Chains A and B, each alone.
Chain A
Amino acid sequence: MLILALVAAGCAGDLNEPVLHSAASLTDVVPDLVDAFGVTGGRTDFRLNVGGSSALAAQIGDGAPSGVFLAADEVTMGIAVDSGEASDPVVFARNRLVLVRRPRADVTGLADLAERGLAVGLCAPSVPCGSLARSELAARSIDPAVDTEEPDVRSLLAKVVAGELDAALVYATDAIVGGEAIEVVPTDLAGTTPYLAAVVGSDPPSGSTEFVAFLRSPEAQQVFAAAGFEAP
């Protein structure tokens, strides 16, 4: 009995560190943010939970460990706030959509996304990247011939990088991460999505509130700008 209890306690994990529930598009920038936070005197032992914002919001609603939620749009943050687990969200950055293509793919503009012969990918509609993409296309009366709807923007990017998709709408920051493996197609896309941060949990670990406040500081904004994000 005692052994079972110890094993169970061990398997349940250590719950003292705050968890950063982070939108997938922030994957590369979060470690730099945590480092910068540490330089200002904050804690650096955050645990990372990365995924599509809508999946994270659902997890938070179901009682995910407390800490901070970094969401890629107001809708997904709204879900977390409505569940009562998150409060006082603040906008800390924005991200723009871009059209990317597999190198040498026959894609020259947004209208090509309607081509049946091309392998086109978008994020799932419930994910911020996907809803922004659809509203931008709808505003231009383009009906995309979608071949797959990925659960988060990094899965989508991975498929373009791997050459499985010809074109996709990802964030400007993801296009930078894609590097040489993809090409950005110039378009008149101007829509941006706001990133919001909020503290999660009724008794969040110390450092959570400070981290949220830190995200709007000059040091943090420098990290965002270097990665290709836009000002809040």
Chain B
Amino acid sequence: MGVIAALAIALLLLPLVAIVLRTPWGDLAEVLGRPVVSDALRLSVVTAMCATVLCVVLGTPLAMFLAQASGVRVALVRSLVLLPLVLPPVVGGVALLEAFGRRGLLGGPLDAVGIRLPFTPAAVVLAQVFVALPFFVVTVEAGLRGVEERLAEAATAVGASRWLVFRRITVPLIAPSLAAGTALALARALGEFGATVTFAGNLGGRTQTMPLAVVEALRSDPDAALALSLLLIAASLAVLVGLRGRWLSGVRS
């Protein structure tokens, strides 16, 4: 058993170690300054943060709805929310294109009034929200379900408004799962590739996020590909450190 566990660890560790060893540490500052890297880094940070904010704003009410209600209706909604989680990202991209592309269901009418989504940073954010929202909602819903309903009821019984209950009781209690959900959504948004390249396109400075830039750099600038990969690994590690094992529990331990 121990041997197999060691092999499994090696399988996971070896590729990461290989990247760290092969990174051009001496020229790293110069490589990080190249447009393909710096443009992608700036775009990724901005779009992922916008997407994460949207996930929090849209996802918290949704998580509350799922946590409080029950029945077939809620089960259907929950399946819908979980769908982007299991869908291959490129399929998500095709779906977004069919909905918001120039000939899309909503995109067609929008294009007629001059609003064009594909090939813009907004499209990048939309693709990221589509894939990251389930991560946030699932985590926060789990946290909400762990909150004692009687605490909220007690507060309401002594006259607290719903907003006050939310602000002073619910939020502090689910703060850990809010933080965990936010971190997961951010990580997922940063790493998004398939839906982005299909729906938003691939243009340096406008829609070429770090994962897309890695693919581009692999063909023309291997050092930049390594530097970008290192940045993405560092970001992922930062998310894991921030989570500190709370992902699965969702409730303050």
Q: Does B169 contact A (CB under 8 A)?
A: no
Among candidates B97, B101, B119, residue contacting A148 with C-beta atoms closer than 8 Å: B119
Q: Mark B100-118, 1 if CB is under 8 A from A, else 0.
A: 0111000000000000101
A119-B119, A164-B102 known; A148 vs B201 contact (CB < 8 Å): yes
Q: Nearest-CB distance from A48 to chain B (Å)?
A: 20
Name which of B49-57, B141-149, B173-181, B215-223 contacts chain A.
B215-223
Q: Which chain A residues (53-71) contact chain B, with CB distance < 8 Å?
A: 54-55, 57-58
**When the two chains form their complex, are residues A162 and B207 in contact, meaning their CB atoms are under 8 A apart?**
no
Main secondary structure of the interface of B (DSSP, over half): loop
Among candidates A55, A119, A121, A126, residue contacting B116 with C-beta atoms closer than 8 Å: A119
Q: Which chain B residues (193-225) contact chain A, with CB distance < 8 Å?
A: 197, 201-204, 207-208, 215-216, 218-220
* B: number of interface residues (CB 8 Å): 19
Q: Nearest-CB distance from B21 to chain A (Å)?
A: 17
Closest to B101 in A: A164
Q: Does A150 contact B (CB under 8 A)?
A: yes
Q: Mark A139-177, 1 if CB is under 8 A from B, else 0.
A: 000000011111100000001001110000000000000
Q: Does A42 contact B (CB under 8 A)?
A: no
**When the two chains form their complex, are residues A125 and B119 in contact, meaning their CB atoms are under 8 A apart?**
no
Among candidates B97, B116, B204, B218, residue contacting A58 with C-beta atoms closer than 8 Å: B218
Complex contacts, A147 vs chain B, CB 8 Å: 118-119, 201, 203
* Docked CA distance A150–B203 (Å): 9
Closest to B119 in A: A147
**When the two chains form their complex, are residues A125 and B220 in contact, meaning their CB atoms are under 8 A apart?**
yes
**When the two chains form their complex, are residues B202 and A150 in contact, meaning their CB atoms are under 8 A apart?**
yes
* Docked CA distance A163–B97 (Å): 11
* Docked CA distance A57–B204 (Å): 22
A-B pairs with beta carbons under 8 Å apart, 10 shown = A52-B219, A58-B219, A119-B116, A121-B201, A147-B118, A148-B119, A148-B202, A150-B202, A163-B102, A164-B118
The 8 lowest CB-CB distance pairs between A and B, nearest first, are A148-B201, A147-B119, A54-B219, A126-B220, A126-B219, A163-B103, A149-B202, A148-B203
Known: A55-B219, A119-B102, A147-B119. 16 other contacts (CB 8 A): A119-B116, A119-B118, A119-B119, A124-B202, A126-B219, A146-B203, A147-B118, A148-B119, A148-B207, A149-B201, A149-B208, A150-B201, A151-B202, A162-B97, A164-B101, A164-B118
